[in-house]
Amino acid sequence: MGKYFGTDGFRGEANKVLTVEHAFKVGRFLGWYYGQDHKARIVIGKDTRRSSYMFEYALVAGLTASGADVCLLHVTTTPSVSYVTRTEEFDCGIMISASHNPFYDNGIKVINGKGHKLEAEVEEKIEAYIDGEIGELPLAVKENIGRTTDYSAGRNRYIGYLISLATRSFENVRVGLDCSNGSAFMIAKSVYDALGAKTYVINNEPDGTNINRDCGSTHIEVLQEFVKEKKLDIAFAYDGDADRCIAVDEKGNVVDGDLILYICGKYLKENGRLNGDTIVTTIMSNLGLYKACDKIGLKYEKTAVGDKYVYENMVNNNFSLGGEQSGHIIFSKHATTGDGILTSLMIMEVMLEKKTSLSKLAEPVKIYPQLLKNVRVADKKTARENPEVVKAVDAVATALGDDGRILVRESGTEPVIRVMVEAATDELCDKYVMQVVDVMEAEGLIVG
């Protein structure tokens, strides 16, 4: 990770960590970088948080000042920006979003011309420019100043693409959608209505401050209750920029990213559509997923946390399916990034083609109890490498043996250490997580 860009772009509290000056400079550099031998074309999307408009204007100012032409998708999803960038020959795309973070955070995600996350070496050059390590860039003048145009048609083409992927009608299926008061509110219902579902939508009235607040994929309990109340057949929750999807079955049970990987991986394997008979997971995936995969001969890879790393592995090995427990799922035939709405459509395909409920499809996976605690610290590296913390982690790992595991890692997007334990019971998970957290507290590493 760089000084500003983490695993998912440049992210932080708006006008504290990430400022309009930063956004302007990111725009200035990208407009110049991609416009050195031609007039750059760059597309921008944003989510519903209040500061997204502010950053959009700052980016546009920087881009056009460097001579780039800018197309605005307005409020849209991260995967739609990726789709439009790669299918309509933009030099790069920019998504303004802090994904699942609270409304007061925001972020700038840059997507290259192939629809992938921006190369680390280019991010490093942006950081050098922000810090004044690169000389001032030339300003465009006269007719070379860039133009800005409305490009909502690009978002509509993405909606059409999603609809085209469905293999059959959703008629008479009662589907719930939790749009997290975020980007999905512009797209998800339109797709499901067009496919004939009886669509029930919640949390689709964004006001700039309610994105991800007690809703969406990070607060799945809201959708669980909604499923029971409305007696729905299936439901899906997205996050703020809709690159994640968590499902809920007809009984109100959560079907997270691990279960989605199993369900879709097994289905694709049975149909000869899973390259290498392999799914790509991260080190955060549950032990229960791997045990279930072993029983049916479904192979798996493990990467560092972040759909960026999942996709790198998929590309390098020509794999079809990969993702994270959090609901970032990548279907490489259809997309180059996690796409929540696309993921929900693929789950619908399995359910309808197999004529089986989601609960039955997920039944073979026996999930190990897992507890993840986010610990806010002053300095992630110092906390992670503290000798007493390391000793406590090793002690837990020894105690768990082959019947569980502990994983302690730095967040790529927040000043947080994530402590995760899987064990035979919830009580053991809690005991061992707190064993490590208590040491962090005793060492004076925790803030807030």
Strand partners, 303: 282
Residue of 80, 99, 217, 320 with catalytic role: 99
Indicate the pairing of strand 41-46 with strand 69-75: parallel
Let me know if 99 is a catalytic residue.
Answer: yes
Residue 346: which pLDDT band, with cuts at 50, 70 and 90?
very high
Q: Is 379 annotated as a binding residue?
A: no
- Cα gap 421→419, rounded to integer Å: 7
Give the chain's mean pLDDT. 96
Q: Is 152 annotated as a binding residue?
A: no
Give me the long-range contacts of 59-62 (CB less than 8 A, separation at least 24): 59/23, 59/24, 59/26, 59/27, 59/94, 59/96, 59/108, 60/27, 60/148, 61/24, 61/27, 62/23, 62/24, 62/25, 62/26, 62/27, 62/28, 62/29, 62/30, 62/31
Secondary structure element (H or E) that encloses residue 78, with its range = helix 78-87
Per-residue pLDDT at 8 exceeds 90:
no
- Cα gap 64→355, rounded to integer Å: 52
Q: Structural domains in the chain? A: 5-152 (3.40.120.10), 166-362 (3.40.120.10), 370-442 (3.30.310.50)
Per-residue pLDDT at 212 exceeds 70:
yes
- Cα gap 330→431, rounded to integer Å: 34
Quick one: average pLDDT of 338-349?
A: 98
Question: pLDDT tens-digit profile of 141-198?
Answer: 999 999 999 999 999 999 999 999 999 999 999 999 999 999 999 899 999 999 999 9
Question: pLDDT tens-digit profile of 54-95?
Answer: 999 999 999 999 999 999 999 999 999 999 999 999 999 999
What spatial distance separates the first Cα and last Cα of the chain, rounded to whole Å?
A: 24
- Cα gap 234→174, rounded to integer Å: 7
Helix, strand, coil tally for the chain in percent (to 5): 40, 20, 35
Rg over CA atoms, the chain: 22
Quick one: average pLDDT of 133-148?
A: 96
Residue 411: which pLDDT band, with cuts at 50, 70 and 90?
confident
Q: Is 105 annotated as a binding residue?
A: no
CA distances from 334 to 61, 79, 82, 103, 277 (A): 33, 11, 11, 30, 18
Question: pLDDT tens-digit profile of 227-280?
Answer: 999 999 999 999 999 999 999 999 999 999 999 999 999 999 999 999 999 999
Per-residue pLDDT at 124 exceeds 90:
yes
pLDDT above 70 as % of the chain: 100
- Cα gap 217→256, rounded to integer Å: 9
Quick one: average pLDDT of 318-340?
A: 96
Question: pLDDT tens-digit profile of 38-57?
Answer: 999 999 999 999 999 999 99
Per-residue pLDDT at 1 exceeds 70:
no
Helix (H, G, I), strand (E, B) or coil at 158: helix
Q: Is 91 annotated as a binding residue?
A: no
